[in-house]
């Protein structure tokens, strides 16, 4: 199985939950490429580096900008380019976000491109423990050729 590219994002009130989840799943996550937004990425990096022996390979973590500073949009662009296999986005449904439109756009793009997306810890547990997670799974994508090739009327 080739490594998956896994995006990890969490709102402030969910960062602790994501870090606990990362620590619980770190042996699985270490075998994959990780993309994280801002502070979440630095926290994930610290959690995965803890207790790492000197003989282990360096972790493959790509840090984007913080969500409110454009990180959500960067991640959405990577999904559009086919560079993300799974999105774990623990968002806080009880807190207003200054970048709410970006959050909605990211979730829309992950759905549009049929990316497995977990927005809570239970779904994250189901995805990472699925036999499909440990295989070379290719999600079926919808063709948008009709939309792209539609006539343009002025």
Domain residue spans in the chain? 5-148
Among the residues of 37-144, which ranges form H helices?
Answer: 38-49, 71-80, 100-112, 121-129
Give the Cα separation of 129 and 31 in Å (integer).
14
Give the Cα separation of 48 and 22 in Å (integer).
8
pLDDT at position 92 is: 81
Which residues are identified as catalytic?
A: 72
Banded model confidence at residue 68, pLDDT cuts 50, 70, 90: confident
pLDDT at position 138 is: 87
Coil, strand or helix: which one is 88? strand
Coil, strand or helix: which one is 68? helix
Q: 91-109 pLDDT, tens per residue?
A: 887 776 767 788 899 999 9
Tokens describing residue 142: 């919808």
Banded model confidence at residue 118, pLDDT cuts 50, 70, 90: very high
User: Does 59 or 54 have the greater pLDDT score?
Assistant: 59
Q: 38-54 pLDDT, tens per residue?
A: 999 999 988 877 766 66
CB 50 within 8 A of CB 57: no
CB 36 within 8 A of CB 62: yes
* 97 burial level (CB within 10 Å; 0-12, 13-18, 19+): middle
Entry pTM: 0.88
CATH architecture of the region 5-148: 3-Layer(aba) Sandwich (3.40)
Residue 101 Cα to chain centre, angstroms:
17
Residue 148 has pLDDT above 90, yes or no: no
Query: How crowded is residue 150: how many other Cβ atoms within 10 Å of its Cβ?
Result: 8
């Amino acid at each position: 199985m080739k490594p998956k590219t896994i995006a990890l994002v969490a709102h402030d009130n969910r960062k602790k939950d994501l870090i606990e989840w990362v620590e619980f799943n770190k042996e699985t996550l270490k075998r994959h490429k990780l993309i994280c937004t801002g502070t979440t990425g630095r926290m994930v990096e610290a959690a995965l580096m803890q207790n790492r022996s000197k003989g282990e390979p360096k972790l493959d973590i790509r840090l984007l900008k913080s969500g409110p500073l454009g990180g959500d949009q960067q991640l959405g662009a990577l999904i559009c380019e086919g560079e993300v296999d799974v999105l774990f986005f623990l968002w806080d449904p009880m807190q207003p976000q200054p970048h709410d439109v970006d959050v909605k756009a990211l979730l829309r793009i992950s759905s549009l491109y049929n990316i497995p997306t977990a927005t809570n810890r239970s779904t994250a547990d189901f995805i990472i423990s699925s036999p499909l997670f440990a295989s070379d799974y290719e999600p079926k994508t919808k063709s948008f050729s009709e939309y792209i090739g539609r006539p343009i009327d002025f």
